[in-house]
Amino acid sequence: MRFKDVFSIIGPSMVGPSSSHTAGAVRLGRTARHVLGGLPEHAEIIFYGSFATTYRGHGTDLAIIAGLLNYDTDDMRIKDAFDRAKDAGMEVEIRSAQKAGMHPNTATLILRRGDQKVIVTGCSIGGGNIEIVSIDDFDVKFTAVYPTLLIFHADRRGILAEMTDIFKHADANIGYMEVDRKSRSGDALTVIESDEVLPTEWIDQIVQLRDVYKVRVIHLTSKGDLS
């Protein structure tokens, strides 16, 4: 099911004018920020499809920037996001591009912070709901509705069992899980959606697993950065 619950239909509480172009865009920006692990110093935003043709009228640019500033969908500061970004020291570049076969409301965000860089592509599928479809060169598919863990690691025998074992001991339930690897024994990304936010001590255990490079937490109902 693309839409998970009643509040993905009634809701979110948001600042207009478009749930796809504004609320969904805020969530795309916020998710990307959480993937990076904090406020970007530089953000390149690329719009595709209907995003590219109508982002000005909908304030989609403002909304993505607001998300990068970690604002929620009903934050009244969204309309001042450009100025707020400047104050926060975030440089923003916006452009449009064409690519066939994409969802009509797609954006790619290339974010930099220190020596960290992430490329996040996501779609706004209606009613403020989103789907993240790629992170760096990995194909993924998650909605950011649930607390989500992104585990960047090396493809190695047994590593998934070690991860899920930690969930077992933390008494946390995994609702959805997917793995994409660049090549056999190469880099891999595991996405785990769980019913509850994993307490920090358990996340630390995942971070400490051999061959795990980094772990990011995406939880859009929380106010702060979790990574």
Hey, how many other C-beta atoms are within 10 angstroms of the C-beta on 187?
17
Q: Does the protein bind another protein through residue 14 (CB under 8 A)?
A: yes
**Quick check: 37 binds another protein (CB under 8 A)?**
no
Residues with Cβ within 8 Å of residue 93, at least 6 apart in sequence: 42, 43, 44, 45
Taking the CB of residue 193, how many other CB atoms lie within 10 A of it?
Answer: 19
Residues 6 or more apart whose Cβ sits within 8 Å of residue 167: 173, 174, 192, 194, 198, 202
Contact indicator for 22, 78 with CB cutoff of 8 Å: yes
3-class DSSP state of 97: coil
Selected range binding another protein among 121-129, 159-167, 184-192, 208-216, rule: CB under 8 A: 121-129
**61 sits near another protein (criterion: CB under 8 A):** yes
Residues 6+ apart with CB under 8 A from 177: 164, 190, 191, 192, 193
Tell me which of 195, 204, 208, 210 binds another protein, using CB under 8 A: 195
Answer yes or no whether residue 54 interacts with another protein by CB under 8 A. Answer: yes
Give the x/- contact pattern for another protein in 122-151, rule: CB under 8 A: --xxxxx-----------------------
Q: List the one residue from 83, 137, 165, 196 that touches another protein (CB under 8 A).
A: 196
Rounded Cα gap, residues 133 and 139, in angstroms: 6
Determine, following the binding rule CB under 8 A, whether residue 53 of this chain makes contact with another protein: yes
Q: How far is CA 31 from CA 5, 182, 207, in A?
A: 19, 22, 20
- 77 belongs to the binding site for another protein (CB under 8 A): no
Least separation, in Å, of the C-beta of 55 and another protein?
A: 8
Smallest gap, in angstroms, from Cβ of residue 85 to another protein?
A: 14
Interface with another protein, residue 158, by CB under 8 A: no
The window from 50-58, 149-157, 159-167, 209-217 that contacts another protein (CB under 8 A) reads 50-58
Contacts with another protein by CB under 8 A lie at 1-20, 22-23, 49-50, 53-59, 61, 74, 76, 78-79, 104-105, 124-128, 195-196
